[in-house]
Structure 1
Amino acid sequence: MSKAASDMPQSAETKIPAELPAPLTSTNTSPRFSANEVTVIFVLGGPGSGKGTQSAKLVKDYGFSHLSAGDLLRAEQDRKGSQYGDLIRNNIREGIIVPMEITVTLLSNAMAAILEKQKDDEKVQSTSRFLIDGFPRKMDQAVYFEETVCLSAATLFLSCPEDVMLNRLLKRGETSGRDDDNIESIKKRFRVFEETSMPVVNHYEKMGKVMSVSAVGTEAEVTARIQKEIESRGILPIKGN
């Protein structure tokens, strides 16, 4: 993957394929899932802030289902027979954000599949808690998701200086095999995050829905800060309950 799918600027020429399945429309009278029954927490932070690492710990500690917008796009890009895999691949290569309708549809359908599996399989521990990391990257994505899928309960923002994130990503690039883990691509991703994603964080901050946590330090230190913040909000039960 040459660029991070959700980090790239939007092009006015981006077209949504006519055959794109569209269970989601902004004319829906209500979101697909009720916020009274489904808890959605967005996880945002610059590239290298530790979103994936900390999301995995929250899954273990609180029983979340973890969804990564980037992972879903990469999987769809590589899925045999995908009717918009080529579009995703081309947009990534050209540095264009994948149309939000595709990303949000993938997220919505993944949530529905998880809930359906839990309902049908008694051995699967039931949870209606979802962490969505790396999303929303732009305000229009946030608005579209909440209009068509579910209102978010909160946004976890991992605050981290660029020099720390840069060092983490360059180290990851030694073994990740990702084309975008190089200094030129990383710096572009930093600029895009600051320009397009920070307005999302600021929007939810004004609503009192942002849990801002310093992502500097060891994984355990950051995890402890997140646990303290998330439990103080009363969104989830205390760990172990």
Structure 2
Amino acid sequence: MVPEVVFVLGAPGSGKGTQCSLISKEYDFVHLSAGDLLREERQRPGSEYGEMIEEKIRNGEIVPVEVTCSLIHKAMQNSGKTRFLIDGFPRNKDNLDGWNRVMFDKTKLLFVLFFECSRDICTERCLGRGAAGSGRSDDNLESLQKRFNTYLNDTLPIINHYDEQNLVRRISAEVAPEKVFEDVKIAFNNIGLKRIAN
């Protein structure tokens, strides 16, 4: 069976991770965060990519797509499952082209879940997360400004690209997580995905 994929995109701090964990429980999707996979690879002793990943993350830049796609593909195979949320990817045209080159034939894209949230709210959330000890080297104002610029310049055109194919489901992420999740469920139920019986 061809793995089914939902891309999850939104600004830093728009609540992608929180919603992905709720979706995973409700619909039996495996949550793969491109950022987490890169951070794990960076920590892995003897990783050939570790240093380069650290530098890119710290500067708010995007890691080369071949590296990200190979980590995502490996994680999919290792999971033994067939439904995946890919969180924080594709972030730019290079990511998109790379995915289409490497993964397009190996997966089926169901839709793109896009969390819309104002810059002020996102910044406040990320700084709060950093202050609470998230352990993320990019939860600071300087990195956030770079990440936001990357998001506006590089990620929004990807949303527009998928919008033209009628694949984007826009969700307002400025309300409480439970309320956001109500809207998320509508997007999943609309394509006939069954919830897991508790």
| TM-score higher than 0.5 | yes
Taking every aligned residue pair, what percent have the same amino acid on both sides?
43
Alpha-carbon distance in 2 for matches of 1:76, 1:130: 19
Alpha-carbon distance in 2 for matches of 1:84, 1:178: 18
Q: Which of 125, 137, 150 is the equivalent residue of 1:192?
A: 150
Matched, 1:108 2:73: yes
Unaligned runs of 5+ in 2: none
Q: Which of 121, 129, 135 is the equivalent residue of 1:172?
A: 129
Alpha-carbon distance in 2 for matches of 1:137, 1:58: 21
Find the structure with the greater CA-based Rg: 1
Q: Which residue type is aligned with residue 83 of structure 2?
A: R
Q: Which of 19, 23, 31 is the equivalent residue of 1:58?
A: 23
Q: Which residue type is aligned with residue 71 of structure 2?
A: L
**2:50 maps to what in 1?**
85
Counting only pairs closer than 5 Å after superposition, residues 28-177 of structure 1 correspond to structure 2 as 37-115=2-80, 127-149=81-103, 150-175=107-132, 176-177=134-135
Q: Deviations over 1:5-47 (max 9, x none)?
A: xxxxxxxxxxxxxxxxxxxxxxxxxxxxxxx621100000000
Alignment check: 8 A CA contact 1:146 1:152 kept: no
Alignment check: 8 A CA contact 1:211 1:230 kept: no
**1:218 maps to what in 2?**
176
Q: Which of 185, 190, 194 is the equivalent residue of 1:232?
A: 190
The CA RMSD measured in Å over matched residues stands at: 1.7
Q: Deviations over 1:191-229 (max 9, x none)?
A: 110100001111001101111110111110000010012
Alpha-carbon distance in 1 for matches of 2:48, 2:146: 29
Alpha-carbon distance in 1 for matches of 2:148, 2:37: 22
Local SS of the residue matching 2:125: helix
Alpha-carbon distance in 1 for matches of 2:196, 2:77: 26
Q: Which residue type is aligned with residue 163 of structure 1?
A: D
Q: Which residue type is aligned with residue 113 of structure 1?
A: N
Alignment check: 8 A CA contact 1:65 1:130 kept: yes
